[in-house]
Chain A
Amino acid sequence: MPVNIRVELPQHLRTLAHVGHEVEIQVEGPVTQRSVLDAVESAYPMLKGAIRDHVTKERRAFLRFFACQEDLTHESPDAPLPDAVISGKEPFLIIGAIAGG
């Protein structure tokens, strides 16, 4: 049964996708970085290539992933996300890794 996952986007991705700071997407099966990002790209195809490489699906170097005040950037893309993300209590955060002018 699909679950609703909250995903918070950085400003420039919100502009590209024409959405607010948080979107809600449906994920089927295990809730992992990979399944969440697949669902984000499916719902908002204009974000393909802006979070992960089009072909390799590797994270773009200056982006990081957080949830529940933990840095999940270097976790396996197939590791389950925290329960609070799966339950919808907490969002999955996509953020810029460094500040820039």
Chain B
Amino acid sequence: MSKVRVLVGTRKGAFILTADGKRDKWEVSGPHFAGWELYHLKGSPADPNRIYASQTSGWFGQVIQRSDDGGKTWHQPGTPPGETTGPGGAPKGESNKFVYDTAAAPLTTHQFYDGTQHPWEFKRVWHLEPSLTDPDTVYAGVEDAALFRSTDGGKNWKELPGLRGHGTGPKWQPGAGGMCLHTIISAAGAFRSDDGGKTWKPINKGLYSKYIPNPTAEIGHCVHHVAMNPKRPGVLFMQKHWDVMRSDDAGDQWTKISGNLPTDFGFVIDVHSHEPETIYVIPIKSDGEHYVHEGKLRVFRSKTGGNEWEPLTKGLPQENCYVNVLRDAMAVDTLDKCGLYFGTTGGQVYMSPNAGDSWSPIVRDLPAVLSVEVQTLA
């Protein structure tokens, strides 16, 4: 029978929630890495038992963790499971080493909040994206914005310098959360590579951001999340700072699809796993008030690829609710009846087993949720 495994990163550790295909009885394990911020966990599509996790702390920096048994045990890549260190098995201690490539991308500064140039400084990994085909290959989107890749299961990391070095890097500026790279760069915009990450180009035509000097500039847009259905990789959906957008040509041109949303500020956006024109957002009141609109936690669904939205409220609090849902904190499973999952800054993880028609909490009282990913297991 099918099974789902939900990977939850929080401000104070990671949690793993598992259930069978009915998704009505859940087991919760954790906290893993107690006391640390877990920005993101994601499983390898090529080997679902291989999971990568980004563990980070203002005190102690970045640590990459890996599990080869579906999250039961963890180790820093290079350190064999169950071992610490020592002669013969000594790890190299390189799995948390992220050093910018200053040879291929001779950039030393980017634009800071006040408009001055500021040194590029590695802070943390925001997003880990395992390869679709190779369990040992994984990409890391980091703050300050850059893209790294490991091809040895996370033991060593090298920057793909084409992104930072493609020309506009010195104009990139941090967003409120820092200058981070997940699917996009905050606050520079979206970029695309058509050659496996060697070269990149900005894909921000059609975006309009009234808070920047040139609202239609090539770069400078605060993009929060981009989603697609793998069956139609040319169709992209974007939750920008303000505005929900879509592109039918892999980002060459964007069109606004906010339609009847009560507010089009937000962080998450996702696509139904079987219906490529069914999309989901969770509107947030404003850029100054990062909580749901009118005290109601509502997921909005469009079955028409945007513009026409319906609120989904069954099972979700509809009064006195002031949580946020951060950019990596929504996911969909691939079971026949598509399941949706999202986590809030109030520590709840909600799940819908019926494409959003009704919701229930899997857990209610975790630390603030930073990310949610789901694995559909055979």
Interface residues of A (CB under 8 A from B): 10-13, 16-19, 41, 43-51, 54-55, 60, 62-63, 96-97, 100
Residue of A nearest to B35 (CB): A12
Within 8 A of A (CB), among B49-108: 57-63, 76, 78-79, 84-85, 90-94, 96-97, 99
Interface size class of B (residues with CB under 8 A): 20 to 34
Instruction: Give min CB distance, A52 to chain B, whole Å.
Output: 10
Contact indicator A46/B76 (Cβ below 8 Å): yes
Chain A residues with CB below 8 A from B97, complex form: 48-49, 54
Q: Does B36 contact A (CB under 8 A)?
A: yes
Count of inter-chain pairs, beta carbons less than 8 A: 64
Cα–Cα distance between A97 and B60 once the two chains are bound (Å): 11
Interface residues of B (CB under 8 A from A): 35-36, 57-63, 76, 78-79, 84-85, 90-94, 96-97, 99
Contact indicator A45/B92 (Cβ below 8 Å): yes
What are 19 A-B residue pairs whose CB atoms fall within 8 Å in the complex? A12-B35, A12-B57, A12-B59, A18-B84, A44-B84, A45-B78, A45-B91, A45-B92, A46-B84, A48-B93, A48-B96, A49-B61, A49-B93, A49-B96, A50-B61, A50-B63, A62-B58, A96-B59, A100-B59
Residue of B nearest to A45 (CB): B93
Given the known interface contacts A50-B63, A62-B59, the answer about A55 and B99 at a Cβ–Cβ threshold of 8 Å is: yes
Instruction: Give min CB distance, B12 to chain A, whole Å.
Output: 8
Given the known interface contacts A48-B97, A54-B99, the answer about A16 and B59 at a Cβ–Cβ threshold of 8 Å is: no
Chain A residues with CB below 8 A from B99, complex form: 54-55
- Sample of 19 further A-B pairs with CB below 8 A, known A16-B60, A54-B96, A96-B59: A11-B35, A12-B57, A13-B60, A17-B84, A44-B84, A45-B78, A46-B76, A46-B85, A46-B96, A47-B93, A49-B93, A50-B60, A50-B61, A54-B99, A60-B59, A60-B61, A62-B58, A62-B59, A63-B59
Given the known interface contacts A12-B36, A46-B85, the answer about A41 and B93 at a Cβ–Cβ threshold of 8 Å is: yes
Cα–Cα distance between A17 and B97 once the two chains are bound (Å): 16
